[in-house]
Amino acid sequence: MQQGFEEVRLVRSRQELVVPVGIYARLHKEGLNDYEGRPALFIDRDGVLIEEVGYISRREDVSFIPGAIAAIRTFNEANIPVIVVTNQAGIGKGYLGWESFEEVQEEITAVLRSSNAYLDAVIACPYHKDGIGIYRLDNHPFRKPNPGMIIFAAERLGIVLERSWMVGDMLSDIEAAASAGLCGAVHVETGYGKEHRKGVKTFQKDSFEIVFEKNLFEIASMLIGRMAGSQWSRS
């Protein structure tokens, strides 16, 4: 059962969390006012932006992957929205709560802000087949490799999917990007990347490009060039 897909919404007028059905969706006020018609960069969080430590729940455990902050700032300067789409099975399984997730997100936001960088939006899905309570649900449409989080963000913000890219460390990130109709995806070696590289190399889908790189920083300039190559008409 697809619980509450249409009920979940991003609030543009103020920074507010609206999670009537358990999906975390936040639009950051530092972001652009108008996303309509723009391509976006979708990224996984753990293993792409911050180090993978396993169900992170404390701000003091936040450690950015080298070069990630500079990469985010580069996309900000190019007016390309950066949207985090992250599975959070730890919440679904009861290992941590949304308060802990928020604490980690606040630290990420603060560190980025101190470097003149920001995330435009963060979407998180806690549903899992081994979840507890309402979060016990197999194959939720928002949980990667399903494309729900990407499609949700695109529909609410007006993002053009066919010009957008995904950066992830797991096969499920790449599969979600392909299912959502993105132009392509970058598989990085950080996080679980080295473990998933073989599986990603065997994944194929027509008209979907997969690029392999070490980390987010190494691919930033190329991605900006690709997305700017079919640049939107708005400034």
- Contact between 24 and 122 under an 8 Å Cβ cutoff? The reply is yes
Catalytic member of 46, 120, 169, 173: 46
Rounded to whole angstroms, how far apart are CA atoms 79 and 152?
20
Instruction: Please say if 130 is a catalytic residue.
Output: no
Instruction: Please say if 120 is a catalytic residue.
Output: no
Residue carrying the six token digits 């970058």: 186
- Contact between 28 and 118 under an 8 Å Cβ cutoff? The reply is yes
* φ/ψ bin of 47: left (φ > 0), alpha (ψ from -120 to 50), beta (otherwise): left
Catalytic member of 34, 44, 138, 206: 44
* Beta strand spans in 107-204 (E): 121-125, 165-168, 184-188
* Exposure class string for 41-73: b at 16+ Cβ within 10 A, else e: bbbbbbbbbbbbeeebbebeebebbebbbebbb
Of 123, 121, 101, whose CA–CA distance to 23 is shortest?
A: 123
Rounded to whole angstroms, how far apart are CA atoms 174 and 166?
7
User: Three-state SS for 185?
Assistant: strand
- Structure tokens given for 198: 């073989």
Sheet holding 41-43, edge to edge: 24-27, 121-125, 82-87, 41-43, 165-168, 184-188, 209-213
Instruction: State the catalytic residues.
Output: 44, 46
